[in-house]
Structure 1
Amino acid sequence: MNKINEAISALIPYAEWAMLFFVIGGGLFLLIYSRFKPYLMFRHAIEVVKGKHDDPNDPGEISHLQALSSAVAATVGLGNISGVAIAIYQGGPGVVFWMWLTAIIGMVIKFYSCSLAVMYRTIDSSGAIESGPMHYMTKGMGKKGKPLAIFFSIAGLIGFLGVFTVNQFTQTFMSVVNPDVTIAALGDFNWKLIIGLTLSVLTSLVIFGGLKKIAKVATAIVPFMVALYFIAVLVIMFTNLGGIIPSIKLIFQEAFNFETAIKGGFWGLVILGVRRAVFSNESGLGSAPMYHGESKTNEPVQEGLVAMLGPFIDTIIVCTLTALTIIISGAYLEADNNGIAMTLLAFEKSLFGYGHILLMLIVAAFAMSTLFTYSYYGTKCLTFLTNIKIGKFFNIYYVATITFAAITSVGVVINLIDLAYALMCIPNMIAVVYLAPKVNNSLKLYFKKVKDGES
């Protein structure tokens, strides 16, 4: 594992620059090319999620709310809790500013990619809807899209593993419960292995139920876990009102303090912010289009607007609350460990000595919902590379990696996922930018319908 990690680490600098170029560069192009129209329809997007513009006769398998909940379930999770802590640990509070900037750009990327998912979705041999980057690459780009789709799908077999989530939940459980001491009477066990096996069993019970079961579970869990996290953080905010404004000021001040980043310099800090934001909200990866493409709608732009809300919820709201909690508590100055240990310390200090226990319960909900949804993404990738029958075997491989992730180090996991994410961004962003004119044409027609009151 050490040799594998060394090999991956050597590739990370190249992956960082690729992600910066394709996500930020491609996102800025889409931002200008769209003339900011998706942002102007933000309120309309919320109305669509509420079901105001639903048509029960539209094709699709799941509602707008279910699609958004399932996609958010995969993004609002450990990336928001420990991913933010990792970013601050490596780059200081200023890295949050660059995460915000990436999220704003990520909103327009989600709009275009998820519009394309509906525009180019197909029906498979079993009669089910197939959608995602692989399909808008092959259908929208023709022969030149096939290599991109294959490249994306291969990278997705690693990128769509729930290894980071499992690893950080295991670290949380070991830190809070400390079973080697508290449950020592039961004997000397490898508790990380036990946690991994337990998560494998629980995940298996859900993911072998298919998309509708995943969407149902995710829709039930996401509002609850986000609400509970909000309440906990808001309690911290209200008990530390005097620290909110100074913390926000510190983020802006440190955003241009390029000596704080471990990599050093302007680009080191920016790249760190991009990596952690993309890790958190998955803009540019091509994961969200797989769920949003299943929505019951005949309007591709409508679903693109719904998808645009994902990065806003994930990074602008949830990640900011986590960052403020860490900064206000002073945990970023005290934590010695990379990962969720910093957030646990922040909650313990800010919630009367019991916050770390509450956070462990929240993390458990985040972890399970993320594990449920990620399995679906990987199955899509393997199905595209092979066929429906073989694609189902991804879940077996997926469940096996859960146990592996529980016992390995956070450094190995972060490097592995960062590399896979960068490789997925390259083909996906090429396809999204190439097919952007198709979305613009659809946007123009939809914009007119909204103005005329037809949609």
Structure 2
Amino acid sequence: MEALDKITSQFASAMWGFPLIILLVGGGLYLLILSNFLPFRYLGHALDVLKGKFNNPDDPGEINHFQALSTALSSTVGMGNIAGVAVAITLGGPGAIFWLWVSAFVGMATKFFTNTLAVMYRGKDTQGKLQGGVMYFIEEGLGKKWKFLAVLFSIAGLVGALPVFNVNQLTQAINFILLEPNDIATGLGTNLIIGIVLVILTSVVILGGIQRISKTVSRLVPAMIVLYFISVITILVVNFEVVPQYFSMIFTDAFAAENYKGDPMLGGVLGGLIILGIRRGAFSNEAGIGTATMAHGASQTSEPIREGLVAMLGPAIDTLVVCTLTALSILVTGIWQTSDVNGVSLTAAAFKDSIPYVGDYILLLCIAAFSISSLFSFSYYGTKCLSYLAGAEYKHYYNYVYIISILLGATTSLSAMINLIDSFFALMAIPTMIATLILAPKVMKEARRYFKKYLE
């Protein structure tokens, strides 16, 4: 296991080097400037689209705007927001959250462009069914000579979509919050039982396809965000006297990097802190990675810009709201400085500290909803990747590999899981960002037509 941890750590560090940071953050900034800060100027219109004001049942696609965003959010509003933020604070302190925010602001522009392209350049699978996603907009938008990028994205997606991190952290949460306090011995046996229960729950939903997945998560996602929001506000009220202090530390520590415990990068500890924040941000909101394009590409619309506008709300909800709530709940309790636990266990300790008796159980309920909804969406992404590579008639085989990987995630270490998924997310980001930057002018041409038609 130690050897596996070392190999995955080295691979993740190599993938998340300076070139990829430039591609994600520099590329996102370019898109933000190219669009004249469009994501922030049309937030109101994006909300109107999300509420169904422009829904048309005759439009091509399988699911409505709200279901598409819920499906995408169910994969991003997950353990990255609870365990991922805890990991970021453990390694980087409060300053890591500032760089998480930077990735979200930039990510809103990236999401607008990538998901507009997912609808602009939909293709057909081997069964003649309309499909959207990075692999399709590369092939349809850039042509066959760029197909190698589409293949790279799809191969990386087969591993990147595996649920090992979410399952690992849900298992850890059940052990830490439910079993160990009740004197139930935990180990391989209990982890395996948890894995089997998750396999059964997941199988019932994912074998029903995108329709069943989208209907399930469109009910689950709003409810779990509201419950989590109320819980964290309670923690902040209990610790209200230190909230301003820690909120300001997010800004000051972002440049001082006094609490960074990781390896120096880009010439120093500040560089290491920046990369840590951006890595965790990418894992949290997946802007520039491209997985969400497969959900938004299935949206029922004839106007690509509408789906781009809806998609850009993702990082705002996911990172600016949910991740910030998690960060503040950990910071204001001071548990990040006194506890030696990591990941989801750190967040659980913060909840237990501020909401006695029931706090950690409320968190467990939120974690279960976050994790299980993520399991549904990522399985869909994996089947889309296999469908592109091998043909739609073979896509269902991915679900069987996916189900086995749930058992793997429940019984292996946290660090290996994080590094494995981080590495393949990086491999997915390369073709996604290259294709998006090349096709960005076509998105802007479409945007000018759309806004002239509907908002002038």
What residue in structure 2 maps to residue 172 of structure 1?
Answer: 173
What residue in structure 2 maps to residue 245 of structure 1?
Answer: 244
1:180 CA drift (Å)? 9.2
**1:67-106 mapped onto 2 (5 Å cutoff):** 67-106=68-107
**Cα distance in 2, alignment partners of residues 230 and 135 from structure 1:** 36
SS at match of 2:86: helix
**Cα distance in 2, alignment partners of residues 49 and 228 from structure 1:** 21
What residue in structure 1 maps to residue 6 of structure 2?
Answer: 6
What residue in structure 2 maps to residue 130 of structure 1?
Answer: 131
1:291 and 2:286 aligned: no
* TM-score for both structures, normalised by structure 1: 0.96
**1:270-281 mapped onto 2 (5 Å cutoff):** 270-281=274-285
1:392 CA drift (Å)? 1.2
Tell me how many residue pairs correspond in the alignment: 450
Counterpart amino acid of residue 389 in structure 1: E
**Cα distance in 2, alignment partners of residues 140 and 29 from structure 1:** 20
Do 2:164 and 2:417's aligned partners in 1 also have CA atoms closer than 8 Å?
A: yes
What residue in structure 1 maps to residue 206 of structure 2?
Answer: 207
Do 1:19 and 1:275's aligned partners in 2 also have CA atoms closer than 8 Å?
A: no
Out of 369, 372, 378, which is 1:374 matched to? 378
Do 1:247 and 1:328's aligned partners in 2 also have CA atoms closer than 8 Å?
A: yes
Do 1:179 and 1:191's aligned partners in 2 also have CA atoms closer than 8 Å?
A: no
SS at match of 1:255: helix
Do 2:305 and 2:446's aligned partners in 1 also have CA atoms closer than 8 Å?
A: yes
Counterpart amino acid of residue 393 in structure 2: K
Out of 432, 435, 438, which is 1:434 matched to? 438
SS at match of 2:455: helix
1:388 CA drift (Å)? 1.2
- Measured at CA, do residues 189 and 434 of structure 1 come closer, stay the same or move farther in structure 2, by a change above 3 Å? closer
Do 1:61 and 1:295's aligned partners in 2 also have CA atoms closer than 8 Å?
A: yes
For structure 1, the residue ranges without an aligned partner over 5 or more in a row are none
**Cα distance in 2, alignment partners of residues 7 and 297 from structure 1:** 44
What residue in structure 2 maps to residue 394 of structure 1?
Answer: 398
Deviates more, 1:207-216 or 1:117-126: 117-126
Deviations 1:40-60 (A, max 9, x none): 111110110001122222111
What residue in structure 2 maps to residue 198 of structure 1?
Answer: 197
**1:31-50 mapped onto 2 (5 Å cutoff):** 31-50=32-51
**Cα distance in 2, alignment partners of residues 31 and 110 from structure 1:** 10
* TM-score for both structures, normalised by structure 2: 0.96
**Cα distance in 1, alignment partners of residues 227 and 271 from structure 2:** 36
| Percent identical residues | 47
1:16 CA drift (Å)? 1.4
SS at match of 2:247: helix
Deviates more, 1:171-180 or 1:189-198: 171-180
Out of 400, 410, 422, which is 1:418 matched to? 422
Deviates more, 1:45-54 or 1:173-182: 173-182
**Cα distance in 2, alignment partners of residues 315 and 368 from structure 1:** 19
What residue in structure 2 maps to residue 26 of structure 1?
Answer: 27
1:385 and 2:389 aligned: yes
**Cα distance in 1, alignment partners of residues 349 and 270 from structure 2:** 29
Out of 328, 332, 337, which is 2:336 matched to? 332
- Measured at CA, do residues 390 and 2 of structure 1 come closer, stay the same or move farther in structure 2, by a change above 3 Å? farther
**Cα distance in 2, alignment partners of residues 450 and 211 from structure 1:** 30
Counterpart amino acid of residue 255 in structure 2: F
**Cα distance in 1, alignment partners of residues 42 and 5 from structure 2:** 44
**Cα distance in 2, alignment partners of residues 5 and 188 from structure 1:** 19
Do 1:92 and 1:260's aligned partners in 2 also have CA atoms closer than 8 Å?
A: yes
SS at match of 1:38: helix
**Cα distance in 1, alignment partners of residues 279 and 426 from structure 2:** 9
Deviates more, 1:252-261 or 1:319-328: 252-261
**1:88-167 mapped onto 2 (5 Å cutoff):** 88-167=89-168
1:177 CA drift (Å)? 1.7
1:259 CA drift (Å)? 4.0
**Cα distance in 2, alignment partners of residues 381 and 296 from structure 1:** 20
**Cα distance in 1, alignment partners of residues 281 and 359 from structure 2:** 25
What residue in structure 1 maps to residue 309 of structure 2?
Answer: 305
Do 2:188 and 2:411's aligned partners in 1 also have CA atoms closer than 8 Å?
A: no
1:179 CA drift (Å)? 5.3
**Cα distance in 2, alignment partners of residues 343 and 227 from structure 1:** 17
**Cα distance in 1, alignment partners of residues 344 and 184 from structure 2:** 22
Counterpart amino acid of residue 69 in structure 2: L
What residue in structure 2 maps to residue 342 of structure 1?
Answer: 346
**Cα distance in 2, alignment partners of residues 34 and 406 from structure 1:** 43
1:254 and 2:253 aligned: yes
Counterpart amino acid of residue 164 in structure 2: V
**Cα distance in 2, alignment partners of residues 196 and 451 from structure 1:** 50
Deviations 1:125-153 (A, max 9, x none): 43432110000011111133200011111
Deviations 1:358-381 (A, max 9, x none): 111111111110001100001111
**Cα distance in 2, alignment partners of residues 205 and 143 from structure 1:** 37
1:364 and 2:365 aligned: no
1:258 CA drift (Å)? 2.6
1:201 CA drift (Å)? 1.4
1:450 CA drift (Å)? 2.7
Deviates more, 1:108-117 or 1:32-41: 32-41
**Cα distance in 2, alignment partners of residues 38 and 362 from structure 1:** 29
Deviations 1:213-252 (A, max 9, x none): 0000000100111111011111112222222221211111
What residue in structure 2 maps to residue 319 of structure 1?
Answer: 323
Do 1:26 and 1:433's aligned partners in 2 also have CA atoms closer than 8 Å?
A: yes
Counterpart amino acid of residue 9 in structure 2: S
Do 2:126 and 2:391's aligned partners in 1 also have CA atoms closer than 8 Å?
A: no
**Cα distance in 1, alignment partners of residues 239 and 250 from structure 2:** 17
1:36 CA drift (Å)? 1.1
